Structure 1
């Protein structure tokens, strides 16, 4: 595993929506589909793997949260996500409700 992948894996953490709101307000939150590995997506973005990233966007596997999603999450700010900060973005995946 590359050093960057190890760094990204170590940076992976859980976050409540409340903590992510400032990032969403600056349009920096990117949703990652559950079918993708968050670290692999972060690695591809960090390494300018344009063809992979474009394919994920085209397949709607990575996208900006919709207004409707943010509205629902704003009503339950304790909603939890797996999160990976990759400046200037925060990549997130929804965690199943406990």
Structure 2
């Protein structure tokens, strides 16, 4: 699959998810939190393409992490909290949605 085809497929898989829907994936240790500084599609593409060195840098710089106990506690109190979500088997990449200006 070309990078262009992969990007198109990932774009089609990009969606919103409420925290409540993500809990089963957290329980199977499959959720990865992507910092707002990164583009969710770029991260998904790097993981799907096995770009290990690129992903490793993001891990080392804490731009991609597993959800912390603190984050999960906060999100458990706001189960309707929404995230941008992207499935890149076997992972679910999530990125907090920014509060919308009213």
Q: TM-score, normalised by structure 1?
A: 0.96
- Alignment gaps of 5+ in structure 1: none
Inter-partner Cα distance in structure 2 for 1:20 and 1:7: 21
- Alignment gaps of 5+ in structure 2: none
Inter-partner Cα distance in structure 2 for 1:34 and 1:81: 11
Residues 17-62 of structure 1 show CA distances to partners (whole Å, capped at 9, x for unaligned) of 0000000111110000111111110110011101100000001000
Aligned Cα root-mean-square deviation (Å): 0.9
- Select the residue among 70, 89, 92 that pairs with 1:90: 92
The 5 A counterparts of 1:1-98 are: 2-98=4-100
Inter-partner Cα distance in structure 2 for 1:37 and 1:52: 13
Inter-partner Cα distance in structure 2 for 1:7 and 1:35: 22
Moved over 4 A (4+): none
Number of corresponding residues: 98
Q: TM-score, normalised by structure 2?
A: 0.92
CA shift, 1:10, in A, is: 1.0
Inter-partner Cα distance in structure 1 for 2:27 and 2:79: 14
CA shift, 1:97, in A, is: 2.7
